[in-house]
Copies of this chain bind each other. A is one copy, B any other.
Amino acid sequence: MSGAVDVKRLSLNQITTENWSLPEAIEGCLRQEIETISIWRHKIADIGLKESSRLIRESALNVSSVCRGGMFPALSQSERNERIEDNKRAVEEAAELGTEVLVLVCGPSPHKDLSESRKWVQEGIEAILPFAQQHGVKLGIEPLHPMFAADRSVITTLAEANDLKGRIGSEQVGVIVDVFHVWWDPYLYEEIDRANGNILGFHVSDWKVPITDLFMGRSLMGEGVIDIPRIRKAVEQNGYHGPIEVEIMNKELWKMPGDENLALIKKAFAQHV
């Protein structure tokens, strides 16, 4: 046993082929023999939920997750309620597309009091929890790299995601481990152990030095400094053996013909995950 990754676990996170519509991404996966896809909500909106669902069923692709719910913090209760309603729509979309996982990017803070925003995140998740349970959809809290704390997520470490999951105390809630967001963390492996049984997703890309763009700076696996196989094995030892999403926001990949992009990520996946 070499411990090599099974390439069948590759899931195309749709942001990696941002220039493709959902129908194009589905066709691309079928051509490239990728069996699983993670679907973004703006791509569902482009063609409608019913058509998205029909295409997915017809393709027989698995759906590893819907990206993304979250974005809970807002200054007024009415705005926070709107966010909660929007998250319920995301839960419905996940259920309709046949995935068990809605990824939560929890949202930035509208003011300087991060601890209040973190409470709003917890309140938001608790508010959608019964609805998610009814729909058979689990909620995956994804800690984002701390460099996104100001504009994307006040949940910044796996420790914090584990704590949040613990406070909510529901089996319906788990965590997502994305190597790009967590690789630097000195307490990463303890926190992966602590997430045992609660890991709902595993995302890969790489951190190439120097990073020139915070959001678009991700690279193909193998081009950067992240010890991806070590993190994968830790996640597996803690019970996660599901799809591994390749999620790379990268302008060079986006410019490339989609099939070339998929061929590249398949190769990098086999060699470096």
Contacts and interface: CB of A to CB of B under 8 A. Distances in A.
A185 interface: yes
A150 B113 CA distance: 29
Interface stretch (A19-27, A51-59, A84-92, A152-160): A152-160
B145 A147 contact: yes
A227 interface: yes
A187 B210 contact: no
Nearest to A227: B112
A1 interface: no
Contacts of A227: 112-114
A157 B156 CA distance: 12
B112 A156 contact: no
Which of A112, A210, A230 has the most chain B CB atoms closer than 10 A to its own CB? A112
A150 B214 contact: no
B145 A186 contact: no
Nearest to A225: B150
Nearest to A161: B186
A118 interface: yes
Interface in A134-170: 145-147, 149-151, 154-157, 159-160, 163
A76 to B, nearest CB: 19
Interface string A85-117: 000000000000000000000000100111100
A210 B151 contact: yes
25 contacts: A112-B226, A112-B227, A112-B230, A113-B227, A114-B186, A115-B186, A145-B147, A146-B147, A146-B184, A146-B185, A149-B183, A150-B207, A150-B209, A150-B211, A150-B224, A151-B209, A151-B210, A154-B184, A154-B186, A156-B186, A157-B186, A160-B187, A163-B186, A211-B214, A214-B214
A224 B149 CA distance: 12
Nearest to A182: B146
Contacts of A230: 112
Contacts of A114: 184, 186, 227
